[in-house]
Amino acid sequence: MEYLFYETGGVEAGIDGTIEIRDPETGEVANQIVQFRSKATGNRLPGESELGFHWPCDERDIEYWTFGTAPVVLIVVDLTKDRAYWKDVRTWFAVPQNRASRKVQFDKTADLFTADAARAVREVAATARPGSYYSAPRRSEELTTNLLRVSAMATTLYWALTDAKSVGEFWRRVKEHDPIRQGRRSFAAGRYSLSAIWTLRRGARSVIPARWRSSTSRSGRCRTTRTENVTS
């Protein structure tokens, strides 16, 4: 191939070396690289047949090979026959079925790693990506909730129809008939029916939306269920 091969050396996390592309005629290099992971065995190749074989890969290695900016090729050497085979793992594992199997399938003819593969390796080097995205670092946050605990509910509920045309008109009428309600907290605004539930508690009347009946469970939490109009 007349390319430049550099071993990683020292501690490595899944890359054994780098192949730098070199023009065989001029000797010029242009910082185009392909990283490689090499495997060698003197035993029978996994799943071997006359046409090919497969090589199992660890999920952590696959993540490592496919995440970086430089393309990575897997080179498998058959020591019994003194032959080497190669595969562009980033392209191979881009196919969901291949990724799920965590295996690289080699063709004994098409994937031979010889001088004839120089052009294909150079084309792989041209697929280098400009950069990888790293997720933002995690940080803790303090969450302040505005939820309030319902400590008690009325024991008796009364409800009746009203001809009020809007929520605003409805509450104005309530305050006119019950001035004690002024200044106290009210229920959240929403789409109310023209019916209302009148709750008597400690001598003061409070109003909640009609067609909805509220009750209190044994745990003290408020539970609301929809009902039909009932005249009491």
**pLDDT computed for residue 217 by the predictor:** 43
DSSP conformation letters of 123-187: HHHTT--S----PPPP----------------S-EEEEE---SSHHHHHHHHHHH-GGGTTS--P
Percent pLDDT > 90 in the chain is: 44
Taking alpha carbons only, the member of 117, 212, 201 closest to residue 159 is: 212
pLDDT at 40: 95
Which domains does the chain carry?
A: 4-125 (3.40.1350), 157-226 (no CATH)
Q: What is the pLDDT of residues 49-83, one digit of tens each?
A: 999 999 999 999 999 999 888 999 999 999 999 99
The fraction of the chain above a pLDDT of 70, given in percent, is: 73
Residue 205 contacts residue 216 (beta carbons within 8 Å): no
Read off the pLDDT of residues 133-169 as tens digits, 9 standing for 90 and up.
Answer: 556 777 888 888 888 888 888 888 888 888 888 888 8
Mean pLDDT of 209-221: 44
CB atoms within 10 A of CB 177: 9
What mean pLDDT do residues 7-30 have? 88
User: How far, CA to CA in Å, does 34 sit from each of 72, 89, 169?
Assistant: 6, 11, 75
- Tell me what the pLDDT averaged over the chain comes to: 79
- How high is the pLDDT of residue 228? 44
Give the residue, 103 or 211, on which the prediction is more confident: 103
| Predicted pLDDT at 87 | 97
